[in-house]
Structure 1
Amino acid sequence: MRYIAVDLGDARTGLAAGDALTGIVSPLTVLECPSGLCGGDALIDLVLKEIERAVGPGACELVVGLPMNMDGTEGPRARIVRAWAGRLAAKSGRKVHMQDERLTSAEADWGMARSGLTRGQKKARRDALAAAAVLRDFLASLTRPRDASDAGDEDPG
């Protein structure tokens, strides 16, 4: 099964693609969101265009990063992301999974720390790398037993 991960941000939204069979995950792109568009239906349209470009009409499921608090609770931002993921599921007709995204942006930063990239180049790649980290975590969760505390549930709404 192919998956596309979405790291929803206020200014930028990162996308990554991966395959459960091979375990290979690759960052795809970062969508820049004009003021007020990230989290809106216009962004859903942009995301769906990128998904079609990346995987065509083929089957894939979506994984949306869920911004959990460090103590494992959900705050206001998580509720916003869940609502957006519900609209994405309804509009796309695809199954949407939620995945805890704690520390994925930090993981992206650590991965680029010694890359030699400029600050601007790192900023341009960060969200797609964070989406890739979300997807790697999700794929790893498919191969291990889950318990009730896992945030990788499948109910975006």
Structure 2
Amino acid sequence: MLDGRIMGLDIGDKTIGVAVSDIMGITAQGVTTVRRVGKKKDIEELKAIIKERQVNKIVSGLPKNMNGTIGPQGEKVQKFCELLQEETGIAIEFWDERLSTVAAERTLIEGNVRRENRKKVIDMLAAVIILQGYLDLKRNF
């Protein structure tokens, strides 16, 4: 039993997809997509969600190249997460997010979601996929 929720993040240049686990740490639910306006404001918005949802752990997707190395986008995510961790005092774990956006896109297409509507929710759904993968792995250990 957890004593708080886990937040999943899909951090991009323009948006941050946010998901949060249920209190038992079994399922991930999409919360929102944060439009990025600047590191300070982005972190403030995430802190508000953390407080509201009683989050005590964060899992961030870490974009890797297909060969497993970390490229420029992965480095940006790591730097942002360092700042977020300093600001919140909450430990952040990384989850290999390769193909999470592809899986999110496929799910939305299969659900017959129109292209313009997919754009609005794809990052949040990618955050759900990242967090759900993490929760499933933890539960099986």
Task: Name 2:67's counterpart in structure 1.
Answer: 71
- Paired with 1:118 and 1:143, the residues of 2 have a C-alpha distance of 34
Contact 2:6 2:25 in 1 (8 A): no
Q: Tell me the alpha carbon deviations over residues 108-151 of structure 1, each in whole angstroms, 9 at most, x when there is no partner.
A: 10111132322121110100000001101111232456xxxxxx
Q: Decide which structure has greater helix share.
A: 2
Superposed, 1:52-71 pairs within 5 Å as 52-53=51-52, 55=53, 58-71=54-67
How many pairs align?
Answer: 138
Task: Name 2:18's counterpart in structure 1.
Answer: 15
Task: Name 1:141's counterpart in structure 2.
Answer: 137
3-state SS of 2:51 partner: helix
Contact 1:104 1:134 in 2 (8 A): yes
Task: Name 1:81's counterpart in structure 2.
Answer: 77
Letter of the 1:11 counterpart: K
Task: Name 1:33's counterpart in structure 2.
Answer: 36
Cα 1:8–1:22 change in 2 (3 A) is closer
| Aligned pair partner of 1:103 in 99, 105, 109 | 99
- Paired with 1:49 and 1:107, the residues of 2 have a C-alpha distance of 28
Task: Name 1:115's counterpart in structure 2.
Answer: 111
TM (norm. structure 2) is 0.88
- State the Cα distance separating 1:19 from its structure 2 match: 3.7
Cα 1:76–1:59 change in 2 (3 A) is closer
Task: Name 2:8's counterpart in structure 1.
Answer: 5
- Paired with 2:44 and 2:79, the residues of 1 have a C-alpha distance of 16
Give the ranges of 4+ consecutive aligned residues of structure 1 lying more than 4 Å apart after TM superposition. none
- State the Cα distance separating 1:45 from its structure 2 match: 1.1
- Paired with 2:94 and 2:75, the residues of 1 have a C-alpha distance of 12
Task: Name 1:148's counterpart in structure 2.
Answer: none
Contact 2:22 2:29 in 1 (8 A): no
- Which consecutive residues of structure 1, in runs of 5 or more, have no partner in the other structure? 146-157
TM (norm. structure 1) is 0.80
- Which consecutive residues of structure 2, in runs of 5 or more, have no partner in the other structure? none
RMSD across aligned C-alpha pairs, in angstroms? Answer: 1.7
- Paired with 2:96 and 2:6, the residues of 1 have a C-alpha distance of 16
